[in-house]
Chain A
Amino acid sequence: MKVAVVRFPGSNCDLDAVASMREIAGLSPELVWHESDQLSRYDAVVLPGGFSFGDYLRAGAIAARSPAMSTIKRMAEHGTPVLGVCNGFQILVEAGLLPGALLRNSSLKFVCDWVHVRVDSRRTPFTLLAREGQVLRMPIAHGEGRYYAPQEQMKELERSNRVVFRYTDEKGAVLEGANPTGTSRNIAGISNEQGNVVGLMPHPERASNPLLSPSGSADGRMIFASLLEGAN
C-alpha cells in the first residue's frame, strides 16, 4: 500500500511519519511535496505535523489552499483514507474536509505532554484494529488544539459517532483534569461523515517505536497498522 506523506514548507513530523510506517511490512510511505501533481497515484495520504507556512494567518489556513489539497479533496470524496496529525488536522479543518475549528488552547500555552486518548470510533481506516474503548498513550505538542464547533454541529458529530479520539485518564474516564487544552467535550480527533478522513492532535508517529518513545509506548503504531488492515 503506497502512502503519501505530504510535505509543506514548515512540516516537521514528516520523517517520523515515514519512519513509523516503514516499520510496518506492507506499507510503503513516500514523501511528496505539496506542489506535486502525482498524489493521485497513492492509496492513502498522511498530512504530518509541523508549522506549515509558519502558521501565518491561522494554523493550517495557507496549506489548506495548496495544490495538494485540491487533489486530496477529490481523493477523499472517492474514499481514499486521509489522516491529518496535529498541523495536518488543522489543515483538514481549514480545507473544509473536517468540520469546526481548532482554536488557541485555553491556557494560551503551547502544551507539550504525554496524554491518554481513548478510541471512541472503530469505523475509520485508522482505528480498525483498536479494541473497544482502548486507551492509547501518545504525546501532544501544539498551541492551537482546542476543538470547537457550533452546538448543532457538535451534536451531529456525537450523534453520528464521528468523535474518534477523546482525552481521558489512563483508565479511559473522560475527566476535566484529563483535558490538556480546554477542547470541547475532551475531543482529540474526529472523522468526516464517511469515516475515511480522520484528524487528531496527538502524534501517533512519536509513539510508534518503544525505543524512541520516553514512555516506551508504541500505541500509535495501531493507527498505521489499521490502515494496512483495511486495505487487505
Chain B
Amino acid sequence: MSVVISNKEGAHDPEGETILRDLVHRSGFGDVKSIRAGKSLRIDVEAPDGKTAETLVRKMCDDLRIYNPAAHSLLVEAGRQPA
C-alpha cells in the first residue's frame, strides 16, 4: 500500500512552493501550476485482498495518528509491490 501525507489545501506548503518557484519555474517549466510536497510511506500488508489492506492501513493511520488531521490530508492507495 502507498500512503501519502501532505499539507491540506488551506495549510501553506513552503517546501512545495520553493520547489515550484526556485527549481521548476526557474528552469523553464512554466506550465506547472502547483506543487505540493508530502511524505510517502510504502507499506507491505498481509491481507486477503486490496480492500481489506486499505481498510487496515487507514485504521492504522487514524489510530496511530500517522498524519495530523488538523493540518494534513491522507491518500491511501494500493501501491507497487515492495522490491
Q: Does B18 contact A (CB under 8 A)?
A: yes
> Bound state CA distance, A103 and B15, in angstroms?
11
The dominant DSSP class at the A interface is loop
Q: Does A28 contact B (CB under 8 A)?
A: no
The answer to whether A105 touches B14, judged by C-beta atoms less than 8 angstroms apart, is yes
> Bound state CA distance, A105 and B15, in angstroms?
10
Stretch binding the partner chain, chosen from B28-36, B42-50, B63-71, B74-82? B63-71
Partner of B10, one of A64, A94, A104, A150: A150
Q: Does B58 contact A (CB under 8 A)?
A: no
The answer to whether B70 touches A153, judged by C-beta atoms less than 8 angstroms apart, is yes
Q: Does A25 contact B (CB under 8 A)?
A: no
The answer to whether A103 touches B64, judged by C-beta atoms less than 8 angstroms apart, is no
Within 8 A of B (CB), among A99-120: 99-101, 103-108
Chain A neighbourhood of B18, CB < 8 A: 108
Chain B neighbourhood of A93, CB < 8 A: 68
Interface residues on A, range: 20 to 34
Q: Does A211 contact B (CB under 8 A)?
A: no
Name the CB-closest residue of A to B64: A65
The answer to whether A108 touches B15, judged by C-beta atoms less than 8 angstroms apart, is yes
> Bound state CA distance, A230 and B70, in angstroms?
32
Using A57-B66, A96-B65, A103-B7 as known contacts, say yes or no to A148 and B71 having CB atoms under 8 A apart.
yes
> Bound state CA distance, A148 and B70, in angstroms?
8
> Bound state CA distance, A94 and B11, in angstroms?
17
> Bound state CA distance, A106 and B17, in angstroms?
10
> Bound state CA distance, A96 and B65, in angstroms?
9
Which residue among A94, A100, A150 has the maximum number of chain B CB atoms within 10 Å of its CB? Answer: A150
Chain B neighbourhood of A150, CB < 8 A: 10, 70
The answer to whether A94 touches B14, judged by C-beta atoms less than 8 angstroms apart, is no
The answer to whether B14 touches A58, judged by C-beta atoms less than 8 angstroms apart, is no
Chain B neighbourhood of A153, CB < 8 A: 70
Chain A neighbourhood of B7, CB < 8 A: 103
Using A108-B18, A148-B71 as known contacts, say yes or no to A103 and B66 having CB atoms under 8 A apart.
no
Q: Show 24 A/B contacts (Cβ-Cβ < 8 Å), sorted by A.
A: A57-B66, A61-B66, A65-B64, A65-B65, A93-B68, A100-B70, A100-B71, A101-B71, A101-B72, A103-B11, A103-B12, A104-B15, A105-B14, A107-B14, A108-B14, A108-B15, A148-B11, A148-B70, A148-B71, A149-B70, A150-B70, A151-B10, A153-B70, A182-B14
10 closest A-B pairs (Cβ-Cβ)?
Answer: A101-B71, A101-B68, A101-B70, A106-B14, A100-B70, A148-B71, A108-B14, A148-B11, A149-B70, A103-B71
